[in-house]
Amino acid sequence: NGIMEALRTRRGKKKFIQVRHEESAAFMACAYAKWTGKLGVCLATSGPGGTHLLTGLYDAKLDQAPVLAITGMQFHDLIETFTQQDVDLTRVFNDVAVYNVQVSDAAHMENVASLACRTALARKGVAHLSIASDTQEQESEPT
């Protein structure tokens, strides 16, 4: 997907640690944030992948650790059509996140990502971005 491709092409700039389960990713991001005071980041796919992040993200919420959770979504034209892994993750993340947005256009990605990171750090909590598969593949110009 687009997020993994972006990480691959920036290999020397961002460190990616692959885990076997999304819950581990959330706990690792939370631990990183607790120990360093910096923003921890975790990724998950759509549907159950995103819901598996919740336990680790509640740990971050309760301990006031800044964490950015990025989840995928199915293609935007399939949202709410009851397709495989069609889970409204922005609704699911409402209680755990201080910032919770579904990104529907790559043109907004830079500003939304910046606001998500700043909000998580300032409010010491979880920020969540849910990004449709086709949005991840769109090209955008840096602002």
pLDDT for residue 135 is more than 70: no
**Position 108 confidence tier, pLDDT thresholds 50, 70, 90:** confident
Q: Which fold has domain 21-132?
A: Rossmann fold (3.40.50)
pTM: 0.84
CA distance 95 to 112: 19
Strand order in the sheet with 126-132: 40-44, 67-73, 126-132, 97-103
Give per-residue pLDDT as tens, 72-82.
876 565 556 66
CA distances from residue 109 to 18, 34, 116 in whole angstroms, order as listed? 23, 26, 10
The residues spanned by each domain of the chain are 21-132
Three-state SS for 38? Answer: coil
Pick from 102, 98, 3, 134: nearest CA to 25? 3
